[in-house]
A and B are shown apart, each in its own frame.
Chain A
Amino acid sequence: MLLELFRAVVFSAATLLLFGGAYHGLLWGIGRVAFPAQAEGSLIRRADGTVVGSRLIAQRFTRDVYVHPRPSAVDYDASSSGGSNYATSSPDQRKLVRDRLAEVQARERVAAADVPSELVTASGSGLDPHLSPDAVLLQVPRLARARGVSAERVRAIVQAHVEPPLLGLFGQPRVNVLVLNLALDDAFGSPAPSPRP
């Protein structure tokens, strides 16, 4: 029995160091050497080095000059992420969808049937950095108006930022909202402090 206890304690200690320590150290080292940007969270910095955000993490956009991301159940709080956990049958969810739809329709001046459902539903993480091309193109007329440029020029930038599915099969065609908004600022000038990707 004492031997059993000894074995349990020693095995736990040895594997704690191996899997809690060495295994992490090895992957951490691989990250440092081979993938330093990804390992630090794919951060986007301004010219002065301050962090604008992560290309993988959605942030809040409210101004008309920017593409707006999906609704977030956690208000884009990247230190406390999460979904709404509303059931499809929830009356609260129904009301929320209607409210968001009214907002989108007022902002983009479109019919309900033209609104992609991702614009009225919250993502699983609350930090979904992407939109489908349709959901971005819906916003192009408003972006062009707000920036005082032609819709064609905005649309061209959007098209250039569409990421196709892997091998044409895995995942959905998508546009990274933060990266696109930075590109729009680059092309047409930024309304606020000038960020650099």
Chain B
Amino acid sequence: MTTADLAAVTLTLGITVLTSVPLGRYMARVFQGQPTWLDPVVLPIERAILRLVRVAADDSQDWRGYARSLLISNAVMWIVAWTIVTCQAWLPLNPDGIANMTPALAFNTASSFVTNTNLQHYSGETGLSTFAQMFMVTFLQFVTAASGMAALAAVIRALGGSRLTRLGHFYVDVTRASVRILLPLSLAVGTIALWQGTPMTLGGAVHATTLEGTPQIIARGMVAAEVAIKQLGTNGGGYFGPNSAHPFENPTPLTNLVQTWAIAVVPMGMVWTLGVMIGRRRLAAVLFSTLLALFVPLAGIAIWSEAQGSSAVAAAGLAQPAGSLEGKEIRVGTAMSALWATTTTATSNGSVNAMHDSLTPLAGLVALTNMWLNTIFGGVGVGFIGLLIYVVVAVFVAGMMIGRTPELLGKKVEPYEMQLASLTLLLHPLLILAGTAIACVVWTSTADPSTALAWLKNPGPHGFSEMLYEFTSAAANNGSGFEGLGDNTAFWNVSTGLVMLIGRYVPILAPLALAASLAAKPAAPDSPGTLGTDTATFGATLWAVVVILGLLMFLPVAVLGPIAEHLMS
């Protein structure tokens, strides 16, 4: 790794952190219904949608109503998605003659995109028509990201309120998030992508005759539009199989920089949004610093590990000054691939610019760790909701340690809230560990599994990691994969489809109920006896709680998979 690489990584992170502050403020204005400078363009669209769904801009729901709207709208979108992919052969805009998806694959795909996961058990250029890419994938990349942001807006209002039962209206929030935040950002990122070489054509694949005279079929499509929102909405689902490793999706170092920025800036901005909306900017700064203190060491490990090179290449006697290049692209380089791998898993995005299956074992462990925690900035909206659960637990732990009633923002944290927090926290490891355990049992109880099941591309601990990664990615609604896993089978389609649905809606609904319960309580004014949450001490406590509670349960599987692989190579 060179100093230029280090400077590039630092600059990328620095730019993203700095720009997240004004974006966070802007998002707070949007969710508070205040005027913004984009209003002349976006307000008419917003008004039109709200008029159509017969909701007034100042309507408000209690948490149950809010949750009901979210669930029912998502259910309708699921049906739309499933219908489109199972009928795409008969629908227009299918220049490459893509066939309909099988019901099991369609179940997985619809669940994947409705839950903002974007796990892909198909490969873009052979699995989806242009119509499906536009009207299923990209459509859902906007509205499901906005659903997560809306849920966070409701949770934030609840945390800031005193004796509050109305948390805003789901349709107002989801419309504003998609129209006022995601749409303008996507148009900007999409235009840069186009300028740099990302295609935007209805023409389908082009047939070329190469310089040496052999035929080459080059898949194309409406790529730029999807690339922009896949990053900004922490969706991650790419137009082509290799995602942003594909030169069309990520043609230059500039697009790589812009996309890395786009992956993290909205989740980062959400932290500042909280600070503005509840009037506690210091708390936001403490939370942001805590998250950065988790992110930076993990990114450091990944970058360092990738710079060491691949053991397979070293064994052949090659020097690897450029790091481990299997599964990576020259224009991107190893350091920016490792930064991306860290960012995309920390934020629940799941897009990749290098093949994660070919990452060095410790960089793979970083990716897994990020998804196990699933809260280092996290997915737009939902990631930060996850952090708030850790905050509740940290407040509880700190309160117990010093013998005081645990309070969060002046509200007493009581058994009901702790039950909901525990449910949310325990569900994640349960889904991942139970899922992986079942997959292992199926594997070991099948005769000659490597030909009968043909799941695993790689033997030994890495094969285990491939199964572990798939359930981790599904439960974390991430969507990246160790793609050596042969995952388009009934077992993987159904199991991860279910895990994605549970892993999406329980961690939205339980915290919403928790926040609503806090909101209904009267807020006590701060007193000298108050346990301050906006101090460095609390930040350190929170950091420790996240690491200990979030990671301890995964230590055994980490040892069985990536750590064993690292020690063996």
| Contact surface of A with B, Cβ cutoff 8 Å | 3-12, 14-16, 18-21, 23-24, 26-28, 30-31, 34-35, 38-43, 50-54, 56-63, 66, 70, 76-91, 93-94, 97-98, 101, 112-113, 115-118, 120-132, 165-166, 168-172, 174, 178, 181-182, 185, 190, 192-193, 195
Contact = CB atoms under 8 A, between A and B. Distances in A.
Nearest to A37: B197
Contacts of A12: 73, 76-77, 80, 143
B326 A93 contact: yes
12 contacts: A6-B54, A16-B135, A42-B197, A52-B208, A81-B242, A83-B358, A86-B358, A86-B458, A88-B360, A88-B361, A93-B310, A192-B212
Given A85-B357, A85-B483, A124-B246, 14 more contacts: A8-B76, A24-B225, A27-B228, A40-B199, A50-B208, A59-B216, A87-B457, A88-B313, A89-B460, A93-B312, A117-B318, A117-B325, A165-B8, A166-B253
Contacts of B333: 171-172
Of listed A117, A124, A165, residue having the most chain B CB within 10 A: A124
A16 B327 CA distance: 35
Nearest to B360: A88
Contacts of B199: 38-42
B73 A168 contact: no
Nearest to B68: A4
Given A112-B317, A165-B253, A27 B200 contact: yes
Contact of B213 (A97, A178, A181, A193): A193
Nearest to B222: A24
Interface of B: 4, 7-8, 11-12, 45, 48-49, 52-55, 68-69, 72-73, 75-77, 80, 96, 123, 125-126, 134-136, 138-139, 141-143, 171, 174-175, 178-179, 183, 186-187, 190-191, 194-203, 205-214, 216-220, 222, 224-225, 228-229, 240-242, 245-248, 251-254, 256-257, 309-313, 315-320, 322, 324-333, 336, 352-355, 357-361, 457-462, 482-484, 565, 568-569
A112 B316 contact: yes
A118 B288 CA distance: 38
A27 B190 contact: yes
B568 A83 contact: no
A91 B310 CA distance: 12
A166 B256 CA distance: 11
Contact of A85 (B211, B254, B327): B327
Contact of A53 (B186, B211, B220, B352): B211
Contact of A60 (B72, B135, B214, B245): B214
B230 to A, nearest CB: 12
Contacts of B220: 40-41
B257 A170 contact: yes
Given A28-B202, A118-B330, A170 B242 contact: no
